[in-house]
Chains A and B, each alone.
Chain A
Amino acid sequence: MARAVSNRRRAINTALAWAVGLLIFFPILWTILTSFKTEGQAIADPPVFLFFDWTLENYAIVQERSNYMRFLMNSIIIAGGSTLLGIIVGVPAAWSMAFVPSRRTKDILMWMLSTKMLPAVGVLYPIYLLFIQLGLLDSRLGLVIVLMLINLPIIIWMLYTYFKEIPGEILEAARMDGASLGKEILYILTPMAIPGIASTILLNIILAWNEAFWTLNLTAAKAGPLTAFIASYSSPEGLFYAKLSAASTMAIAPILILGWFSQKQLVRGLTFGAVK
């Protein structure tokens, strides 16, 4: 029986949710507002919130100074490519762990997750040397591979969790009807796990889009994505906060819009199996 929730309690919960939401969103909002200020207004004390002379000057300067579209295309290719490759590798791996587990499956899962605890800088030199040897330095292919490998533990963990929710009997029935392994994964498992796979894809695109260690350290002039674009506007000797904010807004806009439109799918996928 559903519990009756009083109007007062509902109002408090709603207000609390809005307050938390605004608190989380405030830094992004402030960045967007700052991007429309002059450099002087950006550092004004007390800060100006809404009542200032809005200007597009920072966006014009950023557009003139940087090739935004090149950075954007690199981001799309690197984030999309690494996620796609990760899903291609992750789906069969998660299938085997969910439906054909061995005694060591749990250990393997924990080991995969533990690789995320290693500080990235600890393997910078080995990976950099490998990239030099393989000719992958400053290439989008190199970053696609590295980001796929970095995010693979998360992809497999998420898919494993979703696959575990699917009754194994359905797959058994398909097998009895003569479905091959490939067909079983492609036509039975995948359609049933679409919400989970979709949320895995979305989350990994966001992670790859925002990744700022490898994308800065393994690129130069050609393959730099939007993280490199933002880094080019940061300076410890000179006040360029308004321009930096404009660059940041341009960098986060695509992923913000993607997240906005896909939030229902994302929440549904992330809470899949959480409530029985």
Chain B
Amino acid sequence: MTFKSVLGVATALTLVAGSAALAETITIATVNNGDMIRMQGYTDDFTAKTGHTVEWVTLEENVLRQRVTTDISTKGGAFDIMTIGMYETPIWGSNGWLVALDDLSADYDAGDILPAMAGGLSHDGTLYAAPFYGESSMVMYRTDLMEKAGLEMPAAPSWSFIAKAAREMTDRDNGINGICLRGKAGWGEGGAFITAMSNSFGARWFDEDWNAQFDTREWSDTLNFFVNMMSDSGPAGYATNGFNENLSLFQQGKCGMWIDATVAASFVTNPNDSTVADKVGFALAPDNGMGVRSNWLWAWALAIPAGTQKEAAAKQFIEWATSKDYIELVAANEGWANVPPGARTSLYENANYKDVPFAQMTLDSILSADPTNSTVDPSPYVGIQFAAIPEFAGIATEVSQEFSAVYAGQQSVEDALAKAQALTNDAMEAAGYR
């Protein structure tokens, strides 16, 4: 054996040993939804490209939120990547709990992330989480029932049209409700919907001095409109209906309209699960002529907790999972309708994706949502269906419980708003905002 070949073998062995030493196992906490589960199935592709392996911890959304909050606030280090949303990211970023994603590779093309998503996942202009998929909310309606009612859905409807169409489409004898909306207590359930709706009625959670605004006419108009419309045209027991309950009703042909997350479009148009898959149309979330629509903005994003020992590998994973290549990978194997939506501008410029029936309306909905300017009158907070302050989740859960009691007929709109006003001001005072 020549000296050169010995040197070559030694170099190769060193490289192999080196790459083995660099290979890491990263632990990722994530939510159980279709896109995330699909990503888990493609983990081998990431391992083949980088040598790193992945261990998944999949939890229900609320359990995950509690679990990762405990871990990151105590610097537990149980996870190398956490799946978090637009609510947590700016708060945790400002606390210094997350690794800034400001040095992603040029190939990754961070500039391609939809500006609304990048804005909602940043603090002081620094990106702290990369969006895996994003969503807004929009109207999903039954084209056959709309036609039967002799109406035509505008691309950008008003609340008065929606209420009228809901009444016309309601057919109690045949179990059809004109409209299905979230009434379930919880800041991420009915609380998210009514907050986004209130924006379009000119309401806001706080004035610029952090005073609660539930004693205003705008909030009274919002809640009265919602309750009247749902009493006329909504399903029985809507006070306990959330996303899943309404999805089930819509898929079984029991709703004329449903205003909810844009990701639901792929469920209601899937013929394997939906009995009305070929009769669904889409429109922007309604407005009230005040310049703000009632759609929200949300993203499930991947973030790295500060202090992880595997930051480099974690960044590699985030670059892989939220890349254009990953979208191509899913499209090649499962079709364009199944790629994670709402994160990258290039997806909506792709000719193949334009053929997906709900793609354009999803993009239009996302683009029409502005978390930094979500209310008619100025407000001190960022967020559309939430205010990005740590106290909001607790306060909004209590407020939504008061509202759900109205939907269930247990108290009046006036009583609920008075209680919401008092409890919000108390909490804000205790937290030092007032």
* Chain A residues engaging chain B, CB cutoff 8 angstroms: 39-40, 43-45, 65, 124-125, 128-129, 131-132, 137-138, 216-217, 220-222, 224, 228, 231-240
Contact = CB atoms under 8 A, between A and B. Distances in A.
Contacts of A217: 66-67, 70
Contacts of B34: 238
B61 A125 contact: no
Contacts of A40: 251, 272-273
A40 B252 CA distance: 9
B315 to A, nearest CB: 19
19 contacts: A43-B251, A43-B252, A45-B248, A128-B71, A128-B74, A132-B77, A137-B76, A137-B77, A216-B67, A220-B57, A221-B27, A222-B55, A231-B59, A231-B63, A232-B60, A234-B63, A236-B189, A239-B244, A239-B251
Contacts of A131: 76
Nearest to B28: A221
B267 interface: yes
Nearest to B248: A43
Given A128-B70, A220-B27, A236 B61 contact: yes
Given A216-B67, A236-B62, A237-B263, 13 more contacts: A40-B273, A43-B248, A128-B74, A217-B66, A220-B27, A221-B57, A224-B57, A228-B59, A232-B32, A235-B32, A236-B243, A237-B33, A239-B244
Contact of B33 (A125, A220, A235): A235
B244 A238 contact: yes
B47 to A, nearest CB: 15
B78 A220 contact: yes
A138 B31 CA distance: 19
Given A65-B40, A128-B76, A45 B60 contact: no
Main secondary structure of the interface of B (DSSP, over half): mixed
Contacts of A124: 70
Given A132-B74, A221-B57, A240 B251 contact: no
B55 A221 contact: yes
A261 to B, nearest CB: 32
B74 A235 contact: no
Contacts of B66: 217
B29 interface: yes
A216 B244 CA distance: 23
A57 to B, nearest CB: 12
Given A40-B272, A137-B76, A237 B61 contact: yes
B247 interface: yes
B76 A132 contact: yes
Given A44-B252, A216-B67, A231-B63, A239 B32 contact: no
A101 to B, nearest CB: 41
B328 to A, nearest CB: 24
B74 A129 contact: yes
B60 A238 contact: no
A216 B273 contact: no
B42 interface: no
A235 B78 contact: no
B273 A239 contact: yes
A239 B37 contact: no
B217 interface: no
B75 interface: yes
Given A132-B74, A137-B76, A220-B79, A232 B59 contact: yes
Given A132-B75, A216-B67, A238 B59 contact: no
B273 A236 contact: no
Contacts of A216: 59, 63, 67
Contacts of B248: 43, 45, 239
